[in-house]
Amino acid sequence: METLPTELYTPIFNSLLDTQAKTIQNLCLVSSHFYLSARPLLFNSLRITSFNVLASLLSTIQDLPPDERKIEHLQLELDAIDPTQTTNLLHIMHLAAPTLRSLVVRLPTTNPLSAVIISHAARANHFSNLEKLDLTGFFNLQQVFGSLRAPKLKEVILQTLQPLRLSGADLKMLDSLGELELVTINGQRVVRGEERELELEAKACHN
């Protein structure tokens, strides 16, 4: 395959992004030609399940050339909050924000810091390419949508750890998100511009 023009490697490797995560890592080990083409794809999709890796991951991402720092899918699944690592977590989200297409944040804890993380991330970043947002945690609608900038957002899935009573005014916040097509809150489909109040049960907390 090394007889192929190197510019063909990237589209071929891009077609493998939906396969097992190890695939891109293995391609980097094949040859120097493969490494140069596959390396920018290593961080296309990130799944973080421990606060312990945040410092080293942040350092690695910061060292990448800007054209290789293209994180399109970020999934954070953290069962507890480590206050000493929240800055690193927010910094990773900030670096990923410009190229993110999907963001999954699962913080199934009633620790108030989870709401701080979600609201700060929404307020401090411009998610110019974000299409899907999936949040689980201790937050309210205002903390998510009050300052969210995501003009291409199409799908929102929210699971809150507390019951929600949403007024028509709360739901009209969704109208500020231009391309939004599907909103599900605590398992219930929500219609944009809905005038009636909604009572939404909380998601069970497992910790």
- Closest listed residue to residue 97, CA positions, set 150, 54, 137, 53: 150
Distance of alpha carbon 182 from alpha carbon 153, whole angstroms: 10
Distance of alpha carbon 41 from alpha carbon 16, whole angstroms: 10
The larger pLDDT score, comparing residue 25 to residue 15, is at 25
Distance of alpha carbon 90 from alpha carbon 97, whole angstroms: 10
pTM (predicted TM-score):
0.78
The larger pLDDT score, comparing residue 88 to residue 16, is at 88
Q: What is the pLDDT of residues 32-43, one digit of tens each?
A: 666 555 666 667
Burial group, residue 135, by CB count within 10 angstroms (0-12, 13-18, 19+): buried
Torsion sign across C-alpha atoms 117, 118, 121, 122: negative
Q: What is the pLDDT of residues 55-91, one digit of tens each?
A: 999 998 898 888 778 888 899 998 888 888 889 999 9
Q: What is the pLDDT of residues 101-146, one digit of tens each?
A: 999 999 877 788 888 888 888 888 999 999 999 998 888 777 788 7
- Closest listed residue to residue 133, CA positions, set 95, 93, 85, 90: 93
- Closest listed residue to residue 111, CA positions, set 139, 84, 92, 85: 139
